[in-house]
Amino acid sequence: MSKRPFSYYYDDGSRSRSSSPYPAAIPPNDAELTLSLTGPHSKPTVAYFFNEEVSAFHYGEGHPMKPARLALTHNLVMAYGLDKKMLNFRPRAATDDEIAVFHEDDYIEFLKRVNPGNLQHYSSIMGKFNIGVEDCPVFDGMFDFCRIYTGASLEAARKLVSGVSDVAVNWSGGLHHAKKWEASGFCYVNDIVLAILELLRAFPRVLYVDIDVHHGDGVQEAFYMSNRVMTASFHRYDGHFFPGSGSIEEKGTGKGKYYAINVPLAEYIDDDAYAYVFRNVMTDIMSMFRPSVVVLQCGADSLASDRLGCFNLSIRGHGQCVRFMKSFNVPMLCLGGGGYTVRNVARAWTYETSVLTDTDLTNDLPNNPYMSYYGPDYKLHAPIVDSSAENANSRPITGQHSGKGARVLAVCGACTQCANARDPLGCRKVV
């Protein structure tokens, strides 16, 4: 298969069916926002994608990324009977050609060939691809793992394109750090970029939203020059926290200028503060950019008590982001991402599956093969929040400092002035 130049997907003004929502200020139009495949009397069709083989891989002893968390999640989804509320698919693995739509051929060839038994043979080029380092080790079946989670995201995107479903879910996807020719942050193949490229075949404008505790750098970089893909990432940022990027000043470039939104946050943000910032920023983005489809990366390392994260969100608080994005009734692809306290990852993504399917769940967990992981409370909404932790973000509602060099996110509500200035969210300030 001949590879399309990546720029094919950028809006050059002639190939795309989309027209830029800028420069004219577009007043929010509730009727347009709720226009979608669903009507008031029909429920969205949710499609669920899971290939059980994906959970059997191991990054290595002590590595925080544990694909087994996907087995916990899937079994909890099944135990609650949520599979009966969705169309269920067992997607095939992605092919080399499908992965090559974004990634470089020599990088794919390396991923295919390297294994723990032949590392020495490739030692001279491991550094080039950032593989073999602590974060991105070579492990048995590494590329097969990538192909399986990527195949699920691609199939999920295709079901949205074909109209088979209004919402598509792949908890095994969402590996947002991988670059075109480089692994990063436990991610080797960027299934999100590939899924967005698939969506761009049919949808004029794609909105990518990232609630992982880490900046969604790989996706932002891939579409940094695009005005058909807006990226919005909410993450811990202090210039050092991995991956180090995600400053509010990163806004996109060229035709993509102002189409990258970054919301840098300080540690221990709680449910109320997060909801306030998320709702304000996303309301503005939805009204200004008016996406035809949303891709939501639901990284669960933004939960309280995560092994690597430092936010203080409850299961319900994390799920509120999913609920809020669902409320716009725009077709949506929901993906996983980070999440390193395995039992809470499973809780969060199961709860979010219930949100997407409009299903109430009992707080007592149903019996399932991994029940022992959920002790001692065996609850869905386990008490994971650290009530003694101080939210290092100031209170955005009052704009007041809470001290200790806190960050203020002054999020503009109306944005009319900024829209006129071609920067819909430019009135946000870090004080």
Contact segment (CB under 5 A) with Zn ion among 54-62, 81-89, 296-304, 349-357 equals 296-304
Expressed in angstroms, the distance from the first to the final Cα of the chain is 50
Separation between Cα atoms, residue 230 and residue 226, nearest integer Å: 8
340 annotated ligand-binding residue: yes
The one catalytic residue in 177, 215, 235, 318 is 177
Q: CB of 302 within 8 A of CB of 233?
A: no
Separation between Cα atoms, residue 243 and residue 184, nearest integer Å: 9
Least CB distance to Zn ion at residue 96 (A): 27
- DSSP state letter for 177: T
Contact segment (CB under 5 A) with Zn ion among 150-158, 313-321, 333-341, 404-412 equals 333-341
Structure tokens at 108: 């794919």
214 annotated ligand-binding residue: yes
**How many helices (H) and strands (E) would you count in the chain?**
12, 10
Least CB distance to Zn ion at residue 213 (A): 5
Chain centroid, CA 72 distance in Å: 19
Residue with tokens 């929010």: 28
Separation between Cα atoms, residue 62 and residue 306, nearest integer Å: 15
**Nearer to Zn ion by C-beta: 218 or 331?**
218
By CB under 5 A, how many residues form the interface with Zn ion? 5
Contact segment (CB under 5 A) with Zn ion among 190-198, 268-276, 295-303, 407-415 equals 295-303
Interface residue with Zn ion among 246, 264, 291, 338 (CB under 5 A) is: 338
Contacts for 311 with CB less than 8 Å, ≥ 6 apart: 213, 236, 265, 267, 268, 269, 274, 302, 303, 304
Separation between Cα atoms, residue 283 and residue 275, nearest integer Å: 12
Q: Does 21 bind Zn ion (CB under 5 A)?
A: no
292 closest CA partner among 13, 28, 32:
32
Interface residue with Zn ion among 69, 179, 214, 326 (CB under 5 A) is: 214
Least CB distance to Zn ion at residue 340 (A): 8
92 closest CA partner among 149, 166, 176, 172:
149
**Nearer to Zn ion by C-beta: 299 or 424?**
299
Separation between Cα atoms, residue 123 and residue 248, nearest integer Å: 37
**Nearer to Zn ion by C-beta: 215 or 228?**
215
**Nearer to Zn ion by C-beta: 107 or 234?**
234
Contacts for 358 with CB less than 8 Å, ≥ 6 apart: 43, 85
Least CB distance to Zn ion at residue 21 (A): 30
Known catalytic residue: 177?
yes
**Nearer to Zn ion by C-beta: 98 or 221?**
221
Least CB distance to Zn ion at residue 309 (A): 7
By DSSP bridging, strand 429-430 and strand 409-410 are antiparallel
Least CB distance to Zn ion at residue 376 (A): 27
284 annotated ligand-binding residue: no
Interface residue with Zn ion among 182, 250, 284, 301 (CB under 5 A) is: 301
Contact segment (CB under 5 A) with Zn ion among 129-137, 214-222, 256-264, 318-326 equals 214-222
Contact segment (CB under 5 A) with Zn ion among 30-38, 52-60, 205-213, 271-279 equals 205-213
Tell me which H or E stretch contains 158. helix 142-162
Separation between Cα atoms, residue 299 and residue 273, nearest integer Å: 18
Separation between Cα atoms, residue 209 and residue 347, nearest integer Å: 21
185 annotated ligand-binding residue: yes
Interface residue with Zn ion among 182, 210, 212, 284 (CB under 5 A) is: 212
Least CB distance to Zn ion at residue 301 (A): 4
Binding-site sequence positions for a divalent metal cation = 212, 214, 301
Q: Looking at the annotation, which residues are catalytic?
A: 177
Binding-site sequence positions = 135, 185, 212, 214, 301, 340
Binding-site sequence positions for substrate = 135, 185, 340
Tell me which residues touch Zn ion (CB under 5 A): 212, 214, 299, 301, 338
